[in-house]
């Protein structure tokens, strides 16, 4: 399948056409034909459970912008993005964006860092978001704001954008090759892991003192927390068995509970995954419009380098371990869970379905709606198995004009508790709020998944939404991006 064959959702215009399109693709995605407005909207229903009273069902996903200062403090661009998170009207702000627990653990030299030097500005990020949220919704009742804590593991680039400094837990036969890692490249030692765990403790205590309601112990997208879950081949305390692979989480949680007992904890989890994908050079001759194909894994079966994948066919999923993991979260008293998938580094079409790839990506090997349906179905199944957890779903942005119809139905039918918004918040933060308020929908601001928000920051340009954002109108960044995309 090429990008050209995929029907653009923007061209469907009416929900009946969307319905017909789903049937053609044989996909199960819930949708409501009529959007309910005001307090009766399923998206506006508060959710009260345990210690939580969250004011509505709109969640904002973490979205980093590679735009912090070199010492890890938010810049004006970061403040602007967090204000937009507040403007969205979402009452659950899941982590704002990835904040590294140590300089060595940063994914790029402009990632936020939680440290004594940056704490004052991080606190201002939260209050700026809250003030903007009050302007949209009238109050901060039921607003829950977290901070996503991360160590980038295999994807650390703390010092130079172009200089990877991977910290790995085990040798991965496919990903090591991509990163040009020799077979004797050093693994993180158990004592280095213990010191990273202490970084998480310190960071969580600080987040609590800065007024964040919860921290997310990030376990997704190929970063360190996620890599632990697939560390089947690692020897020692932090790998091998399920118990070993989740020891990192348990030790992080234990320390946070004793240092900051009032702080809630959440986990964002890549519940499913697949093998790494790359551009298929056989399918196009122009050097840039290649379709994605899975790396060959024939000689790697049973596959022991994934989490949530079927070991006999790692392009398929297996929820038995993710279910065990959610069970563990319940035992640890963690109710807040955000379900996502895959990794932006090695299978972006799984993680954030898009029509257009970022400049270093590949054309979608499937209709992006298939990717949306995959994440919705996974989340639905996990929610069904763990009804007491407060579950946020991901990958809704590709639904574009039909996002309100699907979001409302997904919450109403209990597929998910909160509809999480990623890219849509960059282009049109108030989209779901406007829809459930009965305000005019501004179609021009609907994200069309052009991926510029990924391409630009990866190439040192400021982050944001290039085609739709006023912020770029008076700059030449858009032109620079066009040049980059032409390659």
* Contacts with ligand SF4, residue ranges (CB under 6 A): 423, 426-427, 447-453, 465-468
Residue with tokens 């201002």: 124
Q: Decide whether 303 or 338 has the Cβ nearer to ligand FMN.
A: 338
CB of 478 to ligand SF4, least distance (A): 11
User: At closest approach, how far in Å is the CB of 435 from ligand SF4?
Assistant: 17
Q: How far is CA 18 from CA 8, 33, 217, 411, in A?
A: 11, 10, 37, 19
Q: How does DSSP classify residue 91?
A: S
CA distance 132 to 113: 23
Q: Residue 394: name its binding partner from ligand FMN, ligand SF4, none (Cβ under 5 to 8 Å by kind).
A: ligand FMN
Residue 450 binds which entry of ligand FMN, ligand SF4, none, CB below 5-8 Å type-dependent: ligand SF4
For position 461 contacting ligand FMN by CB under 6 A, the verdict is no
Task: State in angstroms the smallest separation of the CB of 87 from ligand SF4.
Answer: 15
Residue whose CB is less far from ligand SF4, 92 or 468: 468
**Partner whose binding site includes residue 91, from ligand SF4, ligand FMN, none (CB under 5 to 8 Å by kind):** none
**Closer Cβ to ligand SF4, 251 or 452, answer by number:** 452
Q: DSSP readout, 284-347?
A: -SSSS-PBEEEPP-GGGPSP-S-SSEETTEEEEE--HHHHHHHHHHHHTT--EEEEEES-TTT-
In whole angstroms, what is the distance from residue 341 CA to residue 274 CA?
9
What is the SS3 assignment for 178? helix
Cα dihedral 15, 17, 18, 24, rounded to 10, equals: 150
Q: State yes or no: residue 422 binds ligand FMN (CB under 6 A).
A: yes
Choose from ligand SF4, ligand FMN, none: what does 63 bind? Cβ within 5-8 Å by kind: ligand FMN
**d(C-alpha 472, C-alpha 82), whole Å:** 17
We find the least distance from the C-beta atom of residue 452 to ligand SF4, in angstroms, to be 4
452 binds, among ligand FMN, ligand SF4, none (CB under 5 to 8 A by kind): ligand SF4
User: Judged by CB under 6 A, does residue 64 bind ligand FMN?
Assistant: yes
Task: Name the segment binding ligand FMN (CB under 6 A); options: 115-123, 392-400, 405-413, 465-473.
Answer: 392-400
Quote the radius of gyration of the chain (alpha carbons, Å): 21
Number of residues near ligand FMN (by CB under 6 A): 23
Residues 6+ apart with CB under 8 A from 469: 426, 427
- Give 310's strand partners: 313
Distance CA 291, CA 285 (A): 11
Task: List residues bridging with 90 in a β-sheet.
Answer: none
- Examine residue 421 and tell whether it contacts ligand FMN (CB under 6 A): yes
Instruction: Choose between 60 and 144: whose C-beta lies nearer to ligand SF4.
Output: 60
Asked if residue 146 binds ligand FMN (CB under 6 A), the reply is no
100 Cβ partners below 8 Å, 6+ apart?
72, 106, 107, 111, 112, 113, 114, 150, 151, 152, 158
Residue ranges in 190-229 that form contacts with ligand FMN under rule CB under 6 A: 220-221
Looking at the Cβ atoms of 106 and 234, the one nearer to ligand FMN is: 106
- Residue 343, binding choice from ligand FMN, ligand SF4, none, Cβ under 5 to 8 Å by partner class: none
In terms of CB distance, is 167 or 423 closer to ligand SF4? 423
**What whole-number distance in Å separates Cα of residue 309 and Cα of residue 194?**
28
In whole angstroms, give the CA distance from residue 102 to residue 202.
10
Q: Please, what is the minimum distance in Å from the beta carbon of residue 218 to ligand FMN?
A: 6
Does the footprint of ligand FMN cover residue 63 (CB under 6 A)? yes
Those residues with Cβ within 8 angstroms of residue 440's Cβ, 6 or more apart along the chain or in another chain = 434
Please tell me whether residue 453 binds ligand FMN under the rule CB under 6 A.
yes
In the list 110, 394, 408, 455, the residue contacting ligand FMN (rule: CB under 6 A) is: 394
Distance CA 310, CA 16 (A): 36
When binding is defined by CB under 6 A, the residue of 391, 424, 432, 465 that contacts ligand FMN is: 424
Nearest residue (CB) to ligand FMN, 220 versus 481: 220
Q: Is 57 in the site for ligand FMN (CB under 6 A)?
A: no
Does 110 bind ligand FMN (CB under 6 A)? Our answer is no
Q: Applying CB under 6 A, does 62 fall inside the site for ligand FMN?
A: yes
Report yes or no: 41 and 385 within 8 Å, Cβ to Cβ: no
DSSP 187: B
Residue closer to ligand SF4 by CB (options 129, 426) is: 426
Residues of this chain that interact with ligand FMN (CB under 6 A) are 61-64, 97-98, 148, 220-221, 268, 340, 352, 394-398, 421-424, 453-454
């Amino acid at each position: 399948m090429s990008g050209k064959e995929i029907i653009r959702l923007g061209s469907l215009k009416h929900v009946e056409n969307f319905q017909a399109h789903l049937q053609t693709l044989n996909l199960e995605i819930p949708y409501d034909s009529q959007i309910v407005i005001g307090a009766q909207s399923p998206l506006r229903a508060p959710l009260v459970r345990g210690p939580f009273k969250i004011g509505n069902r709109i969640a904002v996903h973490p979205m980093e912008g590679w735009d912090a200062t070199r010492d890890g403090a938010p810049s004006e661009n970061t403040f602007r993005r967090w204000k937009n998170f507040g403007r969205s009207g979402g009452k659950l702000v899941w982590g704002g964006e990835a904040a590294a627990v140590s300089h060595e653990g940063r994914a790029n030299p402009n990632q936020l860092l939680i440290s004594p030097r940056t704490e004052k500005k991080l606190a201002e990020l939260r209050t700026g978001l809250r003030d903007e949220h009050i302007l949209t919704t009238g109050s901060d009742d039921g607003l829950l704001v977290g901070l996503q804590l991360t160590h980038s593991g295999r994807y650390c680039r703390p010092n130079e954008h172009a200089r990877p400094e991977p910290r790995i837990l085990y040798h991965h036969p496919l990903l090591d090759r991509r990163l040009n890692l020799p077979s004797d490249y050093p693994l993180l030692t158990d004592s280095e892991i213990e010191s990273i765990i202490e970084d998480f403790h310190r960071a969580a205590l600080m987040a609590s003192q800065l007024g964040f309601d919860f921290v997310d112990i990030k376990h997704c997208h190929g970063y360190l927390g996620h890599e632990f879950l697939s560390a089947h081949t690692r020897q020692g305390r932090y790998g091998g068995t399920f118990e070993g692979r989740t020891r990192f989480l348990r030790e992080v949680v234990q320390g946070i509970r004793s240092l900051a007992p009032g702080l809630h904890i959440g986990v964002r989890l890549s519940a499913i995954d697949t093998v790494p994908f790359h551009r298929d050079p056989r399918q196009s001759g122009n050097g840039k419009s290649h379709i994605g194909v899975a790396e060959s894994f024939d000689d790697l079966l049973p596959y022991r380098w994934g989490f949530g994948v079927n070991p006999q066919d790692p392009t398929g999923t297996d929820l038995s371990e993710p279910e065990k993991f959610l069970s563990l979260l319940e035992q640890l008293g963690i109710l807040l869970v955000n379900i996502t998938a895959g990794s932006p580094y090695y299978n972006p079409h799984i993680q954030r379905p898009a029509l257009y790839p970022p400049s270093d990506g590949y054309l979608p090997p499937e209709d992006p709606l298939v990717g949306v349906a995959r994440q919705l179905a996974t989340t639905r199944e996990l929610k069904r198995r763990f009804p007491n957890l407060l579950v946020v779903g991901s990958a809704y942005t590709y639904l574009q004009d039909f996002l309100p119809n699907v979001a409302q139905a997904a919450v109403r039918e209990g597929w998910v508790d909160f509809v999480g918004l990623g890219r849509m918040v960059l282009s049109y933060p108030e989209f779901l709020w406007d829809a459930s308020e009965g305000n005019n929908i501004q179609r021009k601001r609907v994200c069309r998944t052009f991926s510029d928000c990924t391409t630009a920051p990866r190439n040192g340009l400021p982050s944001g939404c290039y085609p739709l954002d006023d912020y770029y109108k008076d700059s030449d960044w858009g032109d620079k991006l066009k040049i980059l995309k032409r390659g």
